[in-house]
Every structure is written in C-alpha cells, then in structure tokens.
Amino acid sequence: MKTKFYLKGLNCPNCSAKIVDDIKKYDGINDVNYDLINEMLYVEHEKIEDLHKKIEDSVNKFEDGIEVLLADNNSQKNDEEDDEKEDFKKNIIIYSFVLLMLIVNHFVDYNLNVKKIVYLALYVAVGYEVVFSAFKNILKGQIFDEQFLMMIATFSAIAIGEYPEAVAVMLFYSVGELLQDIALDNSRKNIKSALEIKPEFANVLDDKGILITYKPEDVKVGQIILVKPGEKVPLDGEIIEGESYLDTSILTGESVPIKAVVGEELKSGSINKSHAIKLRVTKEYSDGAIAKIIDMVENASQRKANVERKITKFAKVYTPVVCAIALLLVVFGPSLFKIELREAVYRACVFLVISCPCAFIISVPLGIFGGIGAASKNGVFVKGGNYLEALKDVGIFVFDKTGTITKGVFEVSNIKSYEGFSEEDVLEIAAAGEMSSNHPIAKAIVRKSKNKININDVVDFEEVPGKGIKYILHGKEVLVGNSKIVDAEEVEGTNIFVSYDKKLIGEITVSDIIKPEAKDFINSLKKNNIKTYMLSGDEVTVTENVAKEVGIDHAVGGLLPEDKVAELIKIKEREKKLISFVGDGVNDSPVIAVSDIGISMGMSGSDIAVEASDIVILKDNLNKIIDGIKISRNTVNIVNQNIILAFAVKVLVLGLAGLGHASIWLGVFADVGVALLAVLNALRALKPKLN
C-alpha cells in the first residue's frame, strides 16, 4: 500500500534526503520518496500500525518544527501563507536592526569591551535560531548539518577575535537563507500553477432542474452537469444540450479553441469559452482524463532522474570530505603554509561554510520538475524525471502505423459478398460484433452500417489481439478480421474478412489517411540522426507503402502483438541504442512496456496503452514528440548549468580559502548565494524555446 504525508515547512533538501534514508530502515517499508516541490512524502509499505508516529520520529530527528500530516487532511494549508508573511516581516525587522547596529558599532569609537558585548548581542539576535537548532541536532546525534557548520564557523571567528565578521557572516547567511526560501517558494508556486488543472466544482442539475454545486469527486455517472462560459469541464461527459468553443490547452497544449456540439465526448479539464452546455457524465472523476493527468504529474516526482540520484550520492560524501579537509587545515596548516594557528582556523571556517551541498540538491529536482511542468503545459505528460532526462538521448523511434503515423480514421471503401449474402448482410453481421470493439476499423464498420441487428443477439464476444473478433450470432460462429483469425479457425479460402458458420461470406475494404505532419516529423528526426522503424499488424504491402511515403527507414508488417515485442527486442540487440516505441492502441501496450521509453498518443487511445507508457501525448500530433525532445534537452542543459556553476564556484572558493585569499563572506556566497542563483536559473526550465 502507499500513503502520502504532507511535511509542512520541509524546505531543506539535505535534511529530506536524511529523513528518507532513516524511514527506509523501518521494517515493512518498501520504498520512500520525497517531493520537494509539493512537500509530499510518498511511502510504500506493508501494514504498519504506528506508521504516522514513525514518520514523525524520523522527521523530528533531523528537522524541528515540521508538521507531519496525512495528505488527505484539508486543513494542512490553512493560514500557511499568512504565517509565512508574518515570519517574513519579523525577520526583515530583525535583520534590518542588526545591520544598522552592526554599522554603528563598527564605525562609532567607544569602549572595546562594550563593543564586544554589543557584537555578541547582535550575534544572538540574528543567529539564535541557527545555534539553537545546531545544539538540538547535536543532542540527537546529528552533526555536519548546515546549522552546525555555520555555528562552528562563526564561533571560531569569535574565538579568534573576528567579532564583526562573525555577526556579518551570520547575518548574510540568514538573509541568504530567507531569500533562498522565498525563491524556492516562488519556484514551487510557478511550477504548481503550470500544473494547476484540477476543476474545483461541478454544477449538477437534479431531477427538478435545480442547480447544486458538488465536488467533482462526488458526482456520479449519468448525472447531468451544466458548464458555464469560463468554467472548466469538471468530469468527462457527453454533450446533450448546447454547443460551444472549448480551450483544450490544459490537456493538449493547443491554444486554438475547438468547437464542440451535441453528441461529442468532452474530456475533463477543458475550459468552456463561449456558451453554456449540458453534459451527461460518462466517467467518475477518478476515471476521467484530468484525474489521470494529475496522478501522472504527482507520481512523476517519485521517478528520479539519473542526475538526481547521482547528486544525492555525491552530497552524502561532499560534506564529510570538506569538513575533514578543514580539520586537516587546522592541524597541519600552520606548518605546511607557515601561518599562525589563528589564520589556519580562519581558513578552515571558510571551508565549513562552503561544505553544505544545498546548491546541488535544491536546483536539480527544481529544474527537472520545472521541465515536467513545461512539458505538461505543452500537452506532453511525462511520468518521471528519468524519462524526461532520457528522451533527449533516444537514438531510435519505433512507430505503430494505425492511429500513430496514420489518422486511424477509417472509411469503408468497398464490400464484397459471397454465398448468397448481400453486401448489406455482410456489413450488418460484421457491425453487430464490431459494436463491442474500440478498434478504429471496427468504428468505421459500425458507422457505415444501419445497426439492423440487435447487439443483444451477439454472445460469447471475444477480441483476438492482432487478428480480429469472434462471436456467436443467431447460434452461428462469426469471425471478423484479417486472414490470420480465419486461418487459425480453418475456414476455407484465404484473405477472408467476414465468415459466418465456417463459410466465407464477404470482404470489407477500409482505407486510412496518413497524418499531414508525419513526413515533416520523420524528417525532423532524421536531421537529429535518429533512426526510424515502423511495426504494424497491417498487411506487409500496406505497411511498406506508408513507410516509404513518409520516409521511415525500416518497416515490418503483418505482426501480432507478440511479434512486435520480438521484433523490438531484435532491434535493441542489433542497434544498441536507446529505443522509444510510439503507439496508441490496446495491441501496443506489450511493446510499449518493453521499450526504453514508451509513448502513447492521446488519452483517447487504449487505457492499457496509456498505463503502460512512460510519456502520454494528449494532442494527436506527432510534432509534440519533437517538443518533448526540445524540452528534455533544455531541462538537462539547465540542470547541468546549475551543477557546473555550484561545483566551479565552490572549488574556486575552496582553493582560494586554502591559500588564504578568501573571506568567510565569500564562503557564504559560495554556499547560499550560489544556491539562490541556481534556484532562479532552474525556473528557466518552465519556459523552453520550442520554435
């Protein structure tokens, strides 16, 4: 089972990493992940009676003042922003007063001992929370955290008589932490706003026509809802009255409104732009498009990018190593560099200040999740940072044909009938069974028919993946599909599409249309040195012709679902490159699951395919894959920039400090200042250039 906890106020990524490691030690815990953006802790576990208390114990061991609440607790965010504003005002007043008194005390000439007392008072005013937290953590056996390191560094500065610098550094550090928290909070809000897509309410019409407001989760299938202009469509439903233009950009990234009329199925999350419409709810909220998207986004933070995992491992080593070097500098510095012990201690203080890895482990997840937010705004929903990071490295794209390269909108173009059956008989017999199928060809046959046969006359319906359907109609077995389903059942003849009572009664020819953007899309992939394949269950000749027309490098037709899997495995073994499979149907789910990155086209496709895929593209447009690749590259570039910036500045300042050319002030900048810059840079991931 999985439980979500809201850790109100946990902004320290270093602390959160320690908390996660501590929780993992408990018996019955299978996995733990912390989402820094949403302050959510995800715990996969067996049945544990005192789980909540264990989580609280682990949190309190590393960080004080953090509320541990079940994520379903709606009171978790009450008055939170007001509290933050009050804390901000209080801190600004304190820091301003300390800065003013520090300047006065430094430049006004009076008794030296009194000056020292004033400096100490100012130090307590600005640093008591840091020192208090450090002592509490020491009692818990926790050292090498940021508060402890700052306390040791400033205490050492005071011990060697650098009173003004100790106060100034603690002030600079506290102001930097405040600005960092503000930047982090703003980053969170920006990312959340990019993903703020949940409808807040639904206007339900009762039996008497009275409008009642419900939460979307409380509305049942079959109820009638009214969506007014400017409101979000709260649940998936069919329009039964009115027509309007809808903004689907939340779902598809497409800014041009689309027209919706009576009979059309609408996805939750779209915004009504012009006229009021009534819908009959067809899916409960939890099964609707918007709930699936929100679930995808929430779970994305649990699948860490490779760079995140590496940085977390690096951070665990970085602080102890830098602290060890600082200690060695105190012990051996005087003899090695021919300096006084006081100078060696000062240089070591700079090392201690720089030893916190926050700049690394704040900016990386912020950048990754910012990229996920940018992709979501453009209709590309990525199920994890690992997939976003890997998308830029895909060397081979493998496509299904129907509904992916082609529109998947079929039309019946010809009907042949045999054994005394009319063309209409063949069509109606086939349509009777195809009513129970969601395949695009099935829908074309049903559209063409007049629905003369009652669907209740169809029994023992079975869909045979990659072959067709079989069922009993009026006591006789009917097979509808390609030649494979017929051959498997030993029906006389070949190329049989419709059989009735073991006899060939007709063939139905359908045609499909290639997507208009397909050729340019394939060319774009080739320009990026990406190979392309197409695997299809359609006839070999048809498959090869489509591949040739759009420029796909290799194509294999006549494949069953298991054949597609085998063929993909062969491609992986032969090419030795990262492979992505792109499809949309129920038959694609096995091959999507075994590819390195599975991409499904559109929520209108199979739920199984959407579930199996790693990336879901809601707008049925292949160019969204190009957008996804660009966002992946942009995000990884920004993350790498932050890592290089933090590493370069820290190494530079450490080197200068070791040689005696860096002050504690510069050390604080290398810690807090760089972290602040990295957070601000991470925000750029939300606005990639796609043109």
User: Distance (Å, rounded) from C-alpha 326 to C-alpha 344?
Assistant: 9
Phi-psi domain of 471 (left: phi exceeds 0; alpha: psi -120 through 50; beta: other): beta
Known catalytic membership, residue 109: no
Q: Are 531 and 578 in contact (CB under 8 A)?
A: no
* H-helix segments, 576-691: 589-594, 607-612, 623-658, 664-668, 674-682
Secondary structure letter of residue 667 according to DSSP: H
DSSP string, 276-336: -EEEEE-S-GGGSHHHHHHHHHHHHTTS--HHHHHHHHHHHHHHHHHHHHHHHHHHHHHHH
User: Pairing mode, if any, of strands 579-583 and 211-214?
Assistant: unpaired
Closest among 452, 465, 482, 671 to 561, alpha carbons compared: 465
User: Distance (Å, rounded) from C-alpha 486 to C-alpha 497?
Assistant: 8
Q: If you count them, how many residues does the chain have?
A: 691
Q: Quickly count: other Cβ atoms within 10 Å of residue 480's Cβ.
A: 29
Q: Are 153 and 353 in contact (CB under 8 A)?
A: yes
Q: Is 521 helix (H, G, I), strand (E, B) or coil?
A: helix
Q: Are 448 and 412 in contact (CB under 8 A)?
A: yes
Q: Quickly count: other Cβ atoms within 10 Å of residue 203's Cβ.
A: 18
Furthest-apart CA atoms within the chain: distance in Å: 118
**Helix 518-527 vs helix 623-658: crossing angle, to nearest 10:** 30
Query: Residue holding tokens 């390269």?
Result: 405
Q: Are 316 and 356 in contact (CB under 8 A)?
A: no
Secondary structure letter of residue 67 according to DSSP: E
Closest among 85, 238, 282, 99 to 175, alpha carbons compared: 99
Secondary structure letter of residue 232 according to DSSP: B
Closest among 61, 73, 81, 106 to 9, alpha carbons compared: 81
For residue 264, the Cα-to-chain-centroid distance in whole angstroms is 30
**Burial class of residue 468, CB neighbours in 10 A (0-12, 13-18, 19+):** buried
Phi-psi domain of 237 (left: phi exceeds 0; alpha: psi -120 through 50; beta: other): beta
Half-sphere exposure of residue 118, counting CA atoms within 13 Å on the CB side?
19
For residue 571, the Cα-to-chain-centroid distance in whole angstroms is 28
Which one from 35, 181, 236, 400 is the annotated catalytic residue?
A: 400
For residue 373, the Cα-to-chain-centroid distance in whole angstroms is 7
Find all residues with CB under 8 Å of 346, minimum gap 6, and list them. 156, 157, 160, 162, 664
For residue 384, report the phi and psi dihedrals to the nearest 5 degrees: 180, 155
Q: Quickly count: other Cβ atoms within 10 Å of residue 144's Cβ.
A: 16
User: Pairing mode, if any, of strands 597-601 and 615-617?
Assistant: parallel
For residue 615, the cross-strand partners are 382, 599
Query: Residue holding tokens 């048809």?
Result: 542
Catalytically active residues, by annotation:
400
